[in-house]
Structure 1
Amino acid sequence: MKSLKFILAGAVTLLVILIVVSNTVETTGPAPARRSSAADDGQLKIGVLNSAPVYYTEGSGAKGFDYEMALGVSESLGIKPSFVPMDFADLFTALDAGEIDMIASQVSVTEEREKAYDFSHPYFVTYLSFTTPKNSPIRKLKDVNGTKVAIVDGTAQEGILKARFPKAEIVKRKNEAAALEAVAAGKADSFFYDAPFTAGLIKHAPIPMEERIVFPSDKAPIAFVFRKGDGLRDQADKAIDEMIVNGDWLRIKTDYFEQYPLSERFREQGVE
């Protein structure tokens, strides 16, 4: 009888040990892998700024320069695109978290950004502008120093201002609407941003505004952004090069930026 009790006790003890070990293995095992690229589910998630001319809706369809360029890349890759609109300040956070695979939002290539991300071949160059109230004394670049300049936080405009206009006071805001509000409220004298956005923004500005200064910057190319080491970057490069050679790039550029002179960067690639 005692032997039977010992056997039963041993069996119970062994069962408890197995349960404990089983639970320990389950809870300490590897966490589910984070989405690493579009190849994970056959869909290319593209982060875009929900603002013309990057990405906007017209009627029942989407439009935009960066939208059409990204669409061309996804078609070349044979991957279904999914566009995710958000504020510019949230784009890099979403890319870091694996919520999107690529940023297509007039992002300038900078030294600092290249340390953390991979960039595609350029598909545009930066055209910059200062937007001011209609009665502003700011009329030329030399007038900017010593004034308060609103920018969208996280954009390359901050570095450009510090380098070119060291005496300007930078006023950071989360998005374009907030930056224009700062100018309207007298907290900033101008809004420094990418020129392609200006016409659309002025229409919805809280006070009458105008684009006072526009200048191109070949040293600030625009490119798609990927996480470091994502092989999609190399495939995107091939797609962009092909769009430039076959004329698709020039057609899209003309549709949205016909008034902008062709950059030397693209002339060198044979675009005429």
Structure 2
Amino acid sequence: MKFILAGAVTLLVILIVVSNTVEPGNPSAAKRSSAADDGSLKIGVLDSAPVYYNQGGSAKGFDYEMALGVTKSLGIKPSFVPMDFADLFKALDEGEIDMIASQVSVTEEREEAYDFSHPYFVTYLSFTTPKSSPIKKLKDINGSRVAIVDGTAQESILKNRFPKAEIVKRKNEKAALEAVAAGKADSFFYDAPFTDGLIKHAPVPMEERIVFPSDKAPIAFVFRKGDRLRDQSNAAIDEMIVDGTWLRIKTDYFREYPLSELFREQGVE
């Protein structure tokens, strides 16, 4: 009986050790050494032009096409997951998506928590106001109420550049524009590439009043910390810049935007 009990205890210990050391056959996205270990990639995108939208039954978008170019270069099958901007980072944290491609600006705070690819664009910022607004120049922003989408880099930009502005946070673009229309904010501060599409659906007549570029706020793809796909994506982005693919996509969506010095330094003309 003693030998039987001893053998059973030994077997139990072995089973416990094995169960704690052997990786499960299908690890979650959050635990994979790379987001694309299984040859597929779930890409979180803001469901709004110019990031990702539907036109004539086909998907379109600047960030969409840039992400497609990267996955094609790496031989990875992409699937796009549209959502509000405020939900993207939580979805990445929880493994619901593997990468964010949504005009995300690189900030020091974000770099502490995530890995970023090489830049594939820079931030062009704008203040959108009702057509009757007295706001006309950047000096008019301090002391005014500014609506932003919660979770965007606009909050830190406002705090640093316009410390006297009152920040009005909303979950998405629609809610931010509604705050301006209802008189709860004086302007909507957001990325300029989105403005034309948003104005068309604004609850009151609005216009893009102030636009300015920010080379210090590059746009990049976002990955979980340590994902080796980041380095592979960097090589793909660099190749797209050198072979002219990046400039073609940029021209298709942002022809009127002057070329940033960030890309001129890489030989783009």
| Length-normalised TM-score, structure 1 | 0.90
Determine what percentage of the aligned residue pairs are the same residue: 82
Unaligned stretches of 5+ residues in structure 1: 1-9
2:64 paired residue number: 67
Q: How does 1:40-119 map to 2 (within 5 A)?
A: 40-119=37-116
**1:25 shift after superposition:** 4.7
Matched residue of 2:72: which SS?
helix
Q: Does 1:242 align with 2:239?
A: yes
1:38-85 per-position Cα deviation (integer Å, ceiling 9, x unaligned): 333210111000000000011111000000000000001100010000
Please tell me whether Structure 1 or Structure 2 has the larger radius of gyration of its CA atoms.
Answer: 1
1:128 paired residue number: 125
1:127-179 per-position Cα deviation (integer Å, ceiling 9, x unaligned): 00000001000000000000000000000000000000000000000100000
Unaligned stretches of 5+ residues in structure 2: none
2:253 paired residue number: 256
The structure 1 segments of at least 4 consecutive aligned residues displaced by more than 6 Å after TM superposition are none
CA-atom RMSD, angstroms?
2.2
Matched residue of 1:127: which SS?
strand
Matched residue of 2:80: which SS?
strand
1:34 paired residue number: 28
Q: Does 1:269 align with 2:266?
A: yes
2:145 paired residue number: 148
Q: Does 1:206 align with 2:200?
A: no
1:225-260 per-position Cα deviation (integer Å, ceiling 9, x unaligned): 011110000000000000000000000000000000
Matched residue of 2:151: which SS?
coil
Q: Does 1:162 align with 2:159?
A: yes
Work out the CA distance in 1 between the residues paired with 2:228 and 2:59. Answer: 27
Work out the CA distance in 1 between the residues paired with 2:98 and 2:233. Answer: 12
Work out the CA distance in 2 between the residues paired with 1:161 and 1:214. Answer: 14
Matched residue of 1:172: which SS?
strand
Matched residue of 1:128: which SS?
strand
Work out the CA distance in 2 between the residues paired with 1:44 and 1:75. Answer: 11
| Length-normalised TM-score, structure 2 | 0.91
Work out the CA distance in 2 between the residues paired with 1:29 and 1:121. Answer: 37
Work out the CA distance in 1 between the residues paired with 2:108 and 2:218. Answer: 12
Work out the CA distance in 2 between the residues paired with 1:39 and 1:183. Answer: 41
**1:220 shift after superposition:** 0.2
Matched residue of 2:36: which SS?
helix
Q: Give the counterpart letter for 1:154 in structure 2.
A: G
Q: Give the counterpart letter for 1:96 in structure 2.
A: D
Work out the CA distance in 1 between the residues paired with 2:95 and 2:108. Answer: 23
Work out the CA distance in 1 between the residues paired with 2:233 and 2:67. Answer: 9
